C-alpha cells in the first residue's frame, strides 16, 4: 500500500499586542485548541496536514480586522504563501475567530479557486487591516 503525500496547510499566528482588552477576550485558546484537533482529524483522511506555527512577527491589535490579519494561512500547493485570514474569508459574519478559522481552512482546502490572488487587478476589501 502506497501512501500519498499530504497537502500541508499552516496556520501562522503572529504575536499580538492588544491595544484594548476586548480584542484579547475574542481569543479563546481552549476553543482554538479544540478546533485544531478537530480539523486535523477531519482533514487527515482527505489528504491534508494541518500545522500550527507561532511566528515572531508582532502586530498591534486595534480591532477585529487586525486580529484576522494576525493569522496567516500558508498552503503552497494551492498557491498561498502567507495570506491573511481576512483576505481568505472576506468579512467576518459573527466576529468569532474559531468560526472564521474553520471557514478559512475549509476554503483553502476545498475552494481555493474562489480566493482572490494577492496582487491581482481586482481589489478585495475585507477590512482586515492589510492595506488593500
pLDDT averaged over the chain?
A: 87
State the cell numbers at 123: 481589489
Residue 15, helix vs strand vs coil: strand
- The count of structural domains within the chain is 1
Residue 76 belongs to a domain: yes
Range of the domain at 29: 7-114
Alpha-carbon distance of 77 to 87, in angstroms, equals 18
Radius of gyration of the chain (CA): 15
pLDDT at 127 over 80: no
Say yes or no to pLDDT of 131 above 60.
no
Let me know if residue 120 belongs to a domain.
no
Residue 21: inside a domain, yes or no? Answer: yes
Q: What is the CATH number of the domain that holds 105?
A: 3.40.30
Note the pLDDT of residue 35: 97
Q: Cell for 4?
A: 500519498
Question: Does residue 123 belong to any structural domain of this protein?
Answer: no
Residue 100 inside a domain? The answer is yes
In a domain, 106, yes or no: yes
Q: What average pLDDT does this structure show over 99-118?
A: 91
The model's confidence at residue 79, banded by pLDDT at 50, 70 and 90, is confident
pLDDT tens, position by position, 19-78: 999 989 889 999 999 999 999 999 999 999 999 999 999 999 999 999 999 999 999 999
In a domain, 56, yes or no: yes
Across 104-122, average pLDDT:
81
Measure CA 79 to chain center: 14
Amino acid at each position: 500500500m502506497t501512501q500519498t503525500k499530504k497537502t500541508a496547510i499552516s496556520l501562522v499566528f503572529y504575536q499580538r499586542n492588544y491595544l484594548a482588552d476586548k480584542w484579547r477576550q475574542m481569543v479563546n485558546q481552549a476553543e482554538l485548541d479544540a478546533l485544531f484537533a478537530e480539523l486535523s482529524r477531519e482533514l487527515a483522511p482527505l489528504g491534508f496536514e494541518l500545522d500550527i506555527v507561532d511566528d515572531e512577527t508582532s502586530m498591534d491589535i486595534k480591532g477585529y480586522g487586525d486580529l484576522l490579519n494576525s493569522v496567516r494561512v500558508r498552503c503552497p500547493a494551492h498557491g498561498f504563501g502567507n495570506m491573511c485570514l481576512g483576505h481568505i474569508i472576506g468579512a467576518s459574519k459573527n466576529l468569532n475567530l474559531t468560526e472564521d478559522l474553520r471557514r478559512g481552512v475549509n476554503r483553502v482546502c476545498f475552494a481555493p479557486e474562489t480566493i482572490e490572488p494577492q496582487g491581482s487587478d481586482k481589489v478585495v476589501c475585507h477590512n482586515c487591516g492589510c492595506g488593500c
